[in-house]
């Protein structure tokens, strides 16, 4: 009877091998690189939003001042706790589940860009905010794939973590500088950094999009290779990929319809619940117990990334409302002109 019950439990249950599929030190360094990548993305996105709001203040004579003051960097104890929390989540989440998160995000991003139409700029900003935890998973599984079989793997990961930490600190320092001194320095032509952002700050969002495209392209190749290593034959791989593709195609269509009916932040959190819930159902059928636990931890990772970035989601939604009002005003101005032309005819 006891052997029958223990047959349903994972093997080596009381060891960490069933929970973490890599060396704990390697997993920690990979998680640190992923968390640093998320930090760089959030800092540069906040810089982009601040630059846009500053340019609108100059054009509209300070009408968006209240919204610009609400955009503050996450610093101090809260920022450090959030950083180390995301690092721990990415260190524990296995490469198999991280690969599935990357593939799901790429499928959703491609279908969203195809159907975005004229709102592609707004969709890109929302997509960059939503891609935080997926970016961490992409960096983690890419490092796992690129350093697989290396003799000094821990040293390579240590160098990557040190470089990532340096880039994260530089991006955070840039955000603090822009938040405190950009308005003063750009108006007086005093600081070289602020003058460079004033002249070429519009290039920041396209640069982020290109960087994310390259990162996820490499991550997709790594994810497909990591997942295919779990199967012994093409038949088993087909049994896994077929329900995954059908499931997420339906989920993407459902989430895109729901995003038009709900506010931005609420639609994002509902999409996270639906996506990871569908992935959990899939892992309950064809996965392992460790995969199910890793997906539960992905819920915490997504929450740890999206809740502090709620101001970025609000900024993207408010910008959408401004674009709509400007579009309506232009239409109102054009209608009298068309009527006058018709009367003249």
Burial of 332 (0-12, 13-18, 19+ CB in 10 A): exposed
Q: Write out the two tokens for 322.
A: 């401004």
CA–CA gap between residue 321 and residue 55 (Å, rounded): 17
Percent of the chain with pLDDT over 90: 22
Q: Write out the two tokens for 7.
A: 């047959």
Evaluate if residue 139 carries a pLDDT over 90.
Answer: yes
Spacing of C-alpha 269 from chain mean position:
13
**Does any domain span residue 13?**
no
H helix intervals, 61-119 = 65-69, 76-92, 95-116
**Does any domain span residue 5?**
no
What is the chain's length?
Answer: 345
CA–CA gap between residue 47 and residue 175 (Å, rounded): 6
Query: What average pLDDT does the segment 92-108 reach?
Result: 86
Q: What is the pLDDT of residue 310?
A: 81
What does the H/E/C string look like for 283-345? HHHHCCHHHHHHHHHHHHHHHHHHCCCHHHHHHHHHHHHHHHHHHHHHHHHHHHHHHHHHHHC
Q: Structural domain of residue 295, as residue ranges? A: 22-338
Evaluate if residue 47 carries a pLDDT over 60.
Answer: yes
Evaluate if residue 343 carries a pLDDT over 60.
Answer: no
Query: What average pLDDT does the segment 158-182 reach?
Result: 91
Most distant CA pair in the chain: distance in Å?
A: 94
Q: Write out the two tokens for 117.
A: 């139409």
**Does any domain span residue 16?**
no
**Does any domain span residue 11?**
no
Evaluate if residue 200 carries a pLDDT over 60.
Answer: yes
Evaluate if residue 134 carries a pLDDT over 70.
Answer: yes
CA–CA gap between residue 25 and residue 50 (Å, rounded): 38
Mean pLDDT of the chain: 76
Q: Given its phi and psi angles, is residue 6 left (phi above 0), alpha (psi -120 to 50 degrees) or beta?
A: alpha
Evaluate if residue 19 carries a pLDDT over 80.
Answer: no
CA–CA gap between residue 215 and residue 219 (Å, rounded): 6
Residue 136 CB contacts under 8 Å (≥ 6 apart), including other chains = 31, 34, 35, 37, 38, 86, 90, 301, 305
Evaluate if residue 333 carries a pLDDT over 70.
Answer: no
The pLDDT-based confidence of 120 (bands split at 50, 70, 90) is low
**Does any domain span residue 40?**
yes
The pLDDT-based confidence of 280 (bands split at 50, 70, 90) is confident
Taking the alpha carbons of 180, 182, 188, 194 in that order, is the dihedral positive or negative?
positive
Nearest of 82, 17, 71 to residue 306 by alpha carbon: 82
**Does any domain span residue 15?**
no
pLDDT tens-digit series, residues 204-258: 888 999 999 999 999 999 998 888 877 666 677 777 777 767 766 666 666 665 5
**Does any domain span residue 343?**
no
Query: What average pLDDT does the segment 107-132 reach?
Result: 77
Nearest of 141, 123, 67 to residue 298 by alpha carbon: 141
Q: What is the pLDDT of residue 6?
A: 42
H helix intervals, 189-263 = 192-200, 204-228, 234-259
Query: What average pLDDT does the segment 305-326 reach?
Result: 67
Residues 274, 255: contact at Cβ < 8 Å?
yes
In terms of average pLDDT, the best of 182-191, 207-216, 313-322 is 207-216
Q: What is the pLDDT of residue 251?
A: 65
Mean pLDDT lowest among 33-37, 244-248, 320-324 = 320-324
**Does any domain span residue 198?**
yes
State the DSSP code for 10.
P
Give the pTM: 0.80
DSSP string for 170-194: HHHHHHHHHHHHHHHHHHHT--HHH
CA–CA gap between residue 340 and residue 342 (Å, rounded): 5
**Residue 76 or residue 41, greater confidence:** 41
- The count of structural domains within the chain is 1
Nearest of 13, 5, 2 to residue 288 by alpha carbon: 13
């Amino acid at each position: 009877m006891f052997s029958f019950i223990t047959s349903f439990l994972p093997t080596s249950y009381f060891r960490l091998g069933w929970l973490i599929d890599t060396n704990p030190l390697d997993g920690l360094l990979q998680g640190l690189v992923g968390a640093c990548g998320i930090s760089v993305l959030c800092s540069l996105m906040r810089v982009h939003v601040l630059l846009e709001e500053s340019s609108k203040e100059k054009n509209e004579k300070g009408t968006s001042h209240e919204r610009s003051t609400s955009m503050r960097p996450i610093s101090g104890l809260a920022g450090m706790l959030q950083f180390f929390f995301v690092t721990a989540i990415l260190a524990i989440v296995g490469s198999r589940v991280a690969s599935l998160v990357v593939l799901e995000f790429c499928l959703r991003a491609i279908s969203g860009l195809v159907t975005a139409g004229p709102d592609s700029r707004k969709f890109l900003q929302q997509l960059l905010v939503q891609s935080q935890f997926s970016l961490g998973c992409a960096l983690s599984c890419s490092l796992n794939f690129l350093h697989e079989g290396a003799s000094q793997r821990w040293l390579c990961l240590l160098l990557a973590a040190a470089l990532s930490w340096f880039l994260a600190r530089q991006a955070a320092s840039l955000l603090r500088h822009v938040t405190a001194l950009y308005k003063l320095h750009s108006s007086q032509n005093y600081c070289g950094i602020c003058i460079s952002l004033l002249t070429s700050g519009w290039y920041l969002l396209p640069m982020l999009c290109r960087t994310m495209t390259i990162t996820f392209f490499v991550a997709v190749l790594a994810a497909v290779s990591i997942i295919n290593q779990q199967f012994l034959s093409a038949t088993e791989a087909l049994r896994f990929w077929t329900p995954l593709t059908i499931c997420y195609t339906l989920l993407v269509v459902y989430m895109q319809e729901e995003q038009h009916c709900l506010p931005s932040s609420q639609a994002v959190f509902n999409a996270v619940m639906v996506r990871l819930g569908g992935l959990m159902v899939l892992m309950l059928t064809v996965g392992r117990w460790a995969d199910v636990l890793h997906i539960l931890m992905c819920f915490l990772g997504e929450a740890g990334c999206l809740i502090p970035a709620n101001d970025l989601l609000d900024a993207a939604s408010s910008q959408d409302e401004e674009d709509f009002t400007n579009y309506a005003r232009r239409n109102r101005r054009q209608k009298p002109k068309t009527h006058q032309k018709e009367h003249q005819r």
